[in-house]
């Protein structure tokens, strides 16, 4: 088994290039299936989730050439080979469920999709997806195939544009609705839509493909289906989660890192919070430089939220940063009910963090009366000690790497594949900044799992 060995203590210094956004690339690959024309993507990150999505598209009939060195990928799905997504893709990531929206208008056959996977960060239901697609005329049923669950979806009479009102601005449900609307007859309106930069990226891509698609100031998206499909070439926006992760690594290790391609606009809220605790940054024409300014103060209140709020995926590395600030800070997670499972291990490493079921801070959220540990109080600064760690999910994984980089002594981290799902060449990138981190092959028994407490 491969594990990571991290020796903490070194300040990170130097320059790296931001990868293309994971959560945009995978969606554009799925979006390419709506069309029978070729699509070219530039700035494609070399990560596990892209690999899985490419495999998935090939399974359905896409021809794909991916030049990993040039970060350029061409995908062309002239005809669909099948609309059955095998069970082996079940649980791999959240992408299969989006195939329903992408394929509904392209086939009269049933679309069979394994039940949704992804990280262990909450229940992650798909009720909003189903309600939205049914509004456009789809019929979706959940059935058991052998021992596993699958969704059977069809629109034998074609899809018809309609008005979708999302109960919550879910990223995935918005994407599924947009994709289905592409081949629906007439116009579709999505109210209370997610407006994350990755959604905007999808809209830009689909406009190039031939769609008329627009966004109002009140989270309403309008789509007029495509009449004539056009070939597309698109360069993927940089990954704001990866950029924030390295930014925090620079500031917390008392270093200085320039991230080429990091974009101020998509990191606005993050930058404000970083400045509030005394983290330094300078916006340059081709990226952002992040650095330690000498003193980090706590007393911060963060509430994760949908865009343009503070991203839930910034929460985990920021929590590690807050263990190094002077005073108490509050983190209130309002997007996922169970996104503090990783805290247990940080505590073991020496962090002073308490979890609460109440909404701490400004407002009550959807989880106010639902008995989830979804608020945290972090007191700092606390020294951290190297540990044996098992990664529970992607973003917690990077937070652990970060904690290990700050810790005294050596840490061993298991679950490398999870990090490779979302962070391109992260071992090389961290080493180039002066970190002491390596992958080692070990026959040792599994390390203790971090659990929710």
The contact set with ligand EPU (CB under 6 A) reads 22-23, 94, 119, 122-129, 168, 170-173, 194, 196, 312-313, 335-336, 394-395, 422
Secondary structure class of 101 (helix, strand, coil)? helix
SS3 of 391-440? CCCHHHHHHHHHHHHHCECEEEEECHHHHHHHCCCHHHHHHHCCCEEEEE
Residue among 281 and 423 whose Cβ is closer to ligand EPU: 423
Rounded Cα distance between 411 and 384, Å, is 11
Least distance to ligand EPU from the beta carbon of 102, Å?
14
Least distance to ligand EPU from the beta carbon of 118, Å?
6
Residue among 58 and 124 whose Cβ is closer to ligand EPU: 124
| Residue whose C-alpha is closest to residue 28's, from 184, 189, 199 | 199
Least distance to ligand EPU from the beta carbon of 228, Å?
29
Dihedral of alpha carbons 33, 38, 43, 46, sign: positive
Residue among 313 and 414 whose Cβ is closer to ligand EPU: 313
Do the beta carbons of residue 341 and residue 450 sit within 8 Å? yes
Residue among 171 and 349 whose Cβ is closer to ligand EPU: 171
Residue 425, token pair as written in the block: 């060449």
Least distance to ligand EPU from the beta carbon of 132, Å?
8
Residue among 123 and 146 whose Cβ is closer to ligand EPU: 123
**Position of minimal CB gap to ligand EPU:** 172
Least distance to ligand EPU from the beta carbon of 97, Å?
9
Least distance to ligand EPU from the beta carbon of 319, Å?
15
Residue among 49 and 289 whose Cβ is closer to ligand EPU: 49
Dihedral of alpha carbons 66, 72, 78, 82, sign: positive
Residue among 119 and 414 whose Cβ is closer to ligand EPU: 119
| Residue whose C-alpha is closest to residue 151's, from 118, 104, 113 | 113
Secondary structure class of 326 (helix, strand, coil)? strand
Do the beta carbons of residue 376 and residue 346 sit within 8 Å? no
If you search the block for the tokens 């309008």, which residue do you land on?
A: 222
Q: Backbone phi, then psi, for 245, in 5-degree steps?
A: -65, -45
| Residue whose C-alpha is closest to residue 438's, from 402, 411, 417, 418 | 411
Least distance to ligand EPU from the beta carbon of 310, Å?
11
What contacts 232, CB < 8 A, 6 or more positions away?
A: 32, 35, 37, 38, 39, 40, 205, 208, 209
First to last CA, the chain: 27
Least distance to ligand EPU from the beta carbon of 173, Å?
5
Catalytic entry in 49, 67, 119, 388: 119
Q: Backbone phi, then psi, for 241, in 5-degree steps?
A: -80, -45
Residue among 2 and 168 whose Cβ is closer to ligand EPU: 168
Dihedral of alpha carbons 251, 395, 383, 445, sign: negative
| Residue whose C-alpha is closest to residue 422's, from 5, 119, 34 | 119
Residue 119 among the catalytic residues: yes
Do the beta carbons of residue 17 and residue 162 sit within 8 Å? no
Least distance to ligand EPU from the beta carbon of 244, Å?
12
- For 374, which DSSP code? -
Residue among 194 and 257 whose Cβ is closer to ligand EPU: 194
If you search the block for the tokens 């925090």, which residue do you land on?
A: 248
- Known catalytic residues? 119
């Amino acid at each position: 088994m491969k594990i990571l060995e991290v020796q903490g203590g070194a300040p990170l210094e130097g320059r790296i290039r931001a990868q293309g956004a994971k959560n945009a690339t995978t969606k554009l690959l799925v979006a390419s299936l709506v069309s029978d024309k070729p699509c070219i993507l530039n700035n494609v990150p070399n990560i596990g989730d892209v690999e899985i999505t490419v495999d998935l598209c090939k399974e359905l009939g896409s021809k794909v050439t991916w030049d990993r060195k040039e970060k350029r990928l061409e995908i062309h799905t002239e005809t669909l080979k099948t609309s059955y997504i095998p069970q082996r893709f079940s649980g791999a990531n959240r992408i299969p469920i989006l195939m329903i929206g992408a394929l509904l208008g392209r086939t009269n056959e049933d679309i069979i999709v394994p039940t949704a996977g992804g990280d262990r960060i909450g229940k992650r239901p798909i009720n909003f997806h189903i309600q939205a697609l049914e509004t456009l005329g789809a019929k979706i049923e959940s059935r058991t195939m052998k021992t596993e669950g699958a969704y059977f979806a069809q629109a034998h009479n074609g899809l018809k544009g309609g008005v979708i009102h999302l109960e919550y601005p879910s990223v995935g449900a918005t994407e599924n609705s947009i994709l289905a609307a592409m081949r629906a007859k007439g116009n579709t309106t999505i109210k209370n839509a997610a407006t994350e930069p990755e959604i905007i990226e999808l809209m830009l891509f689909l406009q190039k493909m031939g769609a008329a698609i627009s966004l109002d100031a009140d989270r309403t998206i309008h789509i007029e289906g495509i009449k004539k499909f056009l070939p597309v070439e698109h360069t993927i926006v940089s990954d704001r989660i990866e950029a924030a992760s390295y930014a925090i690594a620079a500031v917390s290790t008392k270093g200085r890192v320039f991230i080429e391609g990091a974009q101020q606009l998509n990191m606005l809220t993050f930058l404000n919070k970083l400045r509030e605790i005394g983290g330094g940054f300078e916006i340059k024409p081709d990226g952002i430089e992040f650095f330690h300014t000498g003193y980090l103060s706590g007393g911060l209140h963060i509430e994760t939220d949908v865009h343009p709020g503070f991203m839930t995926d910034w929460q985990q590395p920021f929590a590690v940063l807050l263990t190094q600030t002077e005073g108490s800070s509050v983190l209130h997670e309002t997007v996922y009910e169970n996104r503090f499972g990783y805290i247990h291990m940080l505590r073991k490493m020496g962090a002073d963090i308490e979890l609460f079921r109440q909404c701490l801070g400004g407002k009550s959220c959807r989880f106010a009366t639902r008995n989830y540990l979804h608020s945290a109080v972090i007191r700092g600064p606390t020294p951290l000690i190297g540990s044996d760690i098992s990664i529970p999910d992607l973003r917690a994984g990077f937070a652990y790497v970060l904690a290990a980089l700050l810790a005294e002594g050596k840490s061993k981290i298991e679950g490398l594949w999870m990090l490779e799902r979302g962070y391109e060449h992260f071992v090389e990138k961290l080493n180039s900044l002066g970190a002491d981190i390596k992958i080692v092959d070990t026959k040792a028994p599994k390390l203790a799992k971090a659990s929710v407490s």
